[in-house]
Structure 1
């Protein structure tokens, strides 16, 4: 790796893709916890950023962040946000009782299950349940003594689902008033940009000691589910004191439902977030803090962002949920069309034996979901060279 100068404003341990040091070989598979076992269908490459952020969950075109920002204000939002210019927290420290946690879980479960409103403003489970009862009502009309008694079950279901819809909307819009004083994102379990460290209860480890995997699971009906796992490469050094070798240190990054390409985009965004040679990812939750990060501030002041300083805030202030869904769908197509497959892996230069596994992947990474049931063309990753540098995030 090249010996590039450390950008000002960051600690000496801060991560950049062109300064990955030489490291030890990983332990053999299956010897020290889960490391590339049969459920891991892909290990994602390091470096060579595409500069495309995931379109789902809460990163782009979802209005929950804006409600929090408006209520809290920029100053409080910085500390209570899951992600800011210094750390991407992965643990919530709530000052609430176990009874409240229990009641809240079931409240959220039933109101979200029975609500007419679904994720992103779509249709929720209430429509499905109401539809089933409505179909059964037709049969009740022939068996019931009166029309009133036949329509009673449908009326009850509509009333319950309607109440759940109201309660879900109130939870989404008003729960932040409670969380502001009780929900605290931890600085002790987080991906820290300025130090380049991943902090956890097992210890603090350099970001370059972690690898990203697409993990596949299936239910009894054969439906596949794909998750992005960021896992410590050397589990012998990150065992939990109370767990022994029960499992390696790993973090899950959800991207809601969607394509495997969305998981690639999440890893791309996390890597750029940690790489201090790159500006902060241009997502709504980070926009209020761009001027606080040295690299991003210089990037924006040079006019490279190509957007107004309050682009995301202005967008969310004027669009409705229908327009956000349209923008989200368009961006999802951009994520799927990005050239995720067959990129060089910079980590192969730094970890002996690293390139001996997971070197082939489909040209279209979404084809992982179809292999081996369909004919999928796998290609080898080309070797990385020291002259190659990650690409900057392009303005959109």
Structure 2
């Protein structure tokens, strides 16, 4: 513990602890729509799970890449040869460290080019083999081969004409012209703070002040998690996670953090991950993202010292072993027991619905 502050001095007295949840006022009644579309999740009794997209960002190989880059950067600065990269000093407003889980999102213009490239790329990968097969079957049924007729009626050619040009254009722009597509976020959207135990929703609109915006700050234990079910473009139900403040209309939609899924396991895993991150009784979640910060968090540092955890556990992990770890995590997510747990918060709050 010599490298970090004592826990009682480091964390705020309002920091979240699952064994010391304060008594609170009864919950406010939810709207009929919220009751219909949202299923409240229980607090506590969490498992060591994390959605796979968070576990894999960054991968160990990415940690090694950035470690090499930082070493080379320090060497070039020492020799006076360092040239800053484009947008290197741009503030992105995201913070994923031992203290804050702060989320920001690129503006629509930047998201458009990235989404267009991804959509067209995967559209080509998925649809082209199917289209080629259909064209081949069509040609097999025809009386004779006619290249002109095939090209005029080819589904493959049609799909290529629709998806290939925008994929090429968006790929060139994203890869070679960052000043065309990239715009930094205007600011963060929300933050969970492990040290203070507070949740902040930045620049939230307030009906009571005629649309004026201000930051909403409230303790983490006042936010309940809900599985929110809504239809996708095909009308099929998908499930996302939402944090809703128990005593106001403030909410955090977490669909941009993990994509809504047709099952409830991934949203439940995200809820466990957020509780584990905020709970100062527990060490930081064991994922590559937090390896550089574990020694700076008192609870985590103490835990790692007692358990002789290697300081380079993730960064020195080979790709095969990491893939096995991800596969094991997916198994834990599939068997998560969220809906069979008692609600720890029910001991401190009287829910009226």
Establish whether TM, by shorter chain, passes 0.5: yes
Q: Secondary structure in 2 aligned to 1:205?
A: strand
Q: Decide whether aligned partners of structure 1 residues 295 and 326 sit closer, same or farther in structure 2, where only a CA change above 3 A counts.
A: closer
Match of 2:65 in 1: 70
**Residue in structure 1 matched with residue 41 of structure 2 by the alignment:** 44
Give the total of aligned pairs. 309
Contact 1:87/1:191 (CA < 8 Å) preserved in 2? yes
Q: Which residue of 2 aligns with 1:264?
A: 268
Structure 1 CA distance for aligned equivalents of residues 43 and 272 of structure 2: 9
- Give me the whole-angstrom Cα distance separating, in 2, the residues matched to 1:161 and 1:303: 53
Contact 1:88 1:191 in 2 (8 A): yes
Tell me how far apart the structure 2 counterparts of residues 192 and 65 of structure 1 sit (CA, whole Å).
25
Aligned residue for 1:20, secondary structure, equals: coil
1:54-133 map, 5 Å: 54-55=51-52, 57=53, 59-61=54-56, 67=62, 70-71=65-66, 73=70, 82-92=95-105, 101-102=108-109, 104-115=110-121, 124-133=122-131
Match of 2:336 among 318, 335, 338: 338
* Higher RCO (C-alpha under 8 Å, 6+ residues apart): 2
The structure that has the greater radius of gyration is 2
Instruction: Classify the secondary structure of the residue corresponding to 1:113.
Output: helix
Q: Deviations over 1:346-391 (max 9, x none)?
A: 2111112x2x64xxxxxxxxxxxxxxxxxxxxxxxxxxxxxxxxxx
Distance 2:186 2:17 in 1: 25
Q: Measured at CA, do residues 185 and 264 of structure 1 come closer, stay the same or move farther in structure 2, by a change above 3 Å?
A: farther
Gaps of 5+ in 2: 1-5, 75-87, 204-214
Mapped pair 1:150 → 2:146: no
Instruction: Give the TM-score normalised by the residue count of structure 2.
Output: 0.71
Evaluate the alpha carbon distance shift between residue 169 and residue 12 of structure 1 in structure 2; reply closer, same or farther with a 3 A threshold: farther
Q: Is the 8 A contact 2:114 2:174 kept in 1?
A: no
Distance (whole Å) between structure 2 residues aligned to residue 168 and residue 332 of structure 1: 33
After TM superposition, the structure 1 = structure 2 runs for residues 305-344 of structure 1, keeping only pairs within 5 Å, are 306=309, 308-315=310-317, 318-319=318-319, 327-344=325-342
2:251 aligned with 1:249:
yes
> Matched residues in 2 for 1:65 and 1:53: separation?
16
1:273 to 272, 277, 280: 277
* Contact 1:49–1:268 (CA under 8 A) maintained in structure 2: yes
Question: Matched residues in 1 for 2:322 and 2:281: separation?
Answer: 31
TM-score, length-normalised on structure 1? 0.64
**In structure 2, distance between residues paired with 1:265 and 1:204:** 25
Q: Relative to structure 1, is the Cα distance of residues 324 and 170 closer, same or farther in structure 2, using a 3 angstrom cutoff?
A: farther
CA contact (8 A) 2:95 2:101 kept: yes
For each residue in 1:210-251, what CA deviation from the matched residue of structure 2 results, as whole angstroms up to 9, or x when unmatched? 00011111247551100111111111xxxxxxxxxxx53333
Distance 1:26 1:106, change over 3 A: same
SS in 2 for 1:18: coil
Aligned position for 1:391: none
Residue deviations 1:65-91, cap 9 Å, x none?
A: 9648835749999x9654111111123
Alpha-carbon RMSD: 4.0
Q: Which residue of 1 aligns with 2:206?
A: none
2:98–2:284 CA contact under 8 A, matched in 1 = yes
In structure 2, do the counterparts of structure 1 residues 130 and 12 end up closer, same or farther at CA, with 3 Å as the change threshold? same
